[in-house]
Amino acid sequence: MNPNRVDFLVDLAYGLVILLSVALILLVGTGVGVAFGIGTLVSYAIHVVWKMARFDPEWMTEEVTEKVEETIAEEVTEEVTESVEQTVTEEVTEEVTEKVEQTVTEEVTENVERTITQEMNDIIQQLEQVNERVDRRPRADELDEMQQELTTDDDGGEAER
């Protein structure tokens, strides 16, 4: 079976099920239709995640890696911050402590802002790349036309021999 045809048929089936939920809202009642529609939309969201993982297998790995890196960075930052605060409090005067805390806060804020901006730009760039890949994917009717052309060329080539 052609995976693109299967994807098309699955997308078509989701569309029909969503249309069925609208019909249920009109005919049976709002509660039943809304419940059916929400179930359909949740399953469609799962389907979209599956599709993204299928067309870009590293997508899921990258997402998990980013989350782990963020968590580790937060924990290390918290541990380092606590250690530095204890040492500074014990060894220097109150005035120096205030200056250090102010400097650390400003630097951490700048680093966090810079890191968040960079991460957001990376995520946006990755999403744009995924969108480009999805946009480049031929539609089912284009694939059918190409297949017909190839079949016609093959039949025509054999007849001339």
Angle at 82 between CA 78 and CA 88, to 5 degrees: 140
- Sorted by sequence, the CB contacts under 8 Å of residue 59 that are 6+ apart come out as 52, 53, 126, 130
| Total-model pTM | 0.31
pLDDT band at 36 (very low <50, low <70, confident <90, very high): confident
Please indicate, yes or no, whether residues 51 and 66 belong to a single structural domain of this protein. Answer: no
Q: What is the C-alpha to C-alpha distance for residues 52 and 3, in angstroms, rounded to an integer? A: 14
Q: Which domain holds residue 106?
A: 58-133
Q: What is the C-alpha to C-alpha distance for residues 157 and 161, in angstroms, rounded to an integer? A: 7
- Specify the range with the lowest mean pLDDT, choosing from 31-45, 89-103, 109-123, 146-160: 146-160
Residues for the chain: how many in total?
161
Q: What is the C-alpha to C-alpha distance for residues 132 and 101, in angstroms, rounded to an integer? A: 45
24 belongs to a structural domain: yes
Q: What is the C-alpha to C-alpha distance for residues 148 and 156, in angstroms, rounded to an integer? A: 12
Please indicate, yes or no, whether residues 66 and 51 belong to a single structural domain of this protein. Answer: no
Average pLDDT, rounded, for the chain: 78
Please indicate, yes or no, whether residues 68 and 125 belong to a single structural domain of this protein. Answer: yes
pLDDT the model gives residue 159: 45
pLDDT digits (tens, 9 = 90+) for 84-125: 777 766 765 677 777 878 887 888 788 888 888 888 888 888
Please indicate, yes or no, whether residues 51 and 80 belong to a single structural domain of this protein. Answer: no
pLDDT the model gives residue 100: 76
101 belongs to a structural domain: yes
Average pLDDT estimate for 59-82: 77
Please indicate, yes or no, whether residues 64 and 81 belong to a single structural domain of this protein. Answer: yes
Average pLDDT estimate for 139-150: 82
Please indicate, yes or no, whether residues 64 and 85 belong to a single structural domain of this protein. Answer: yes
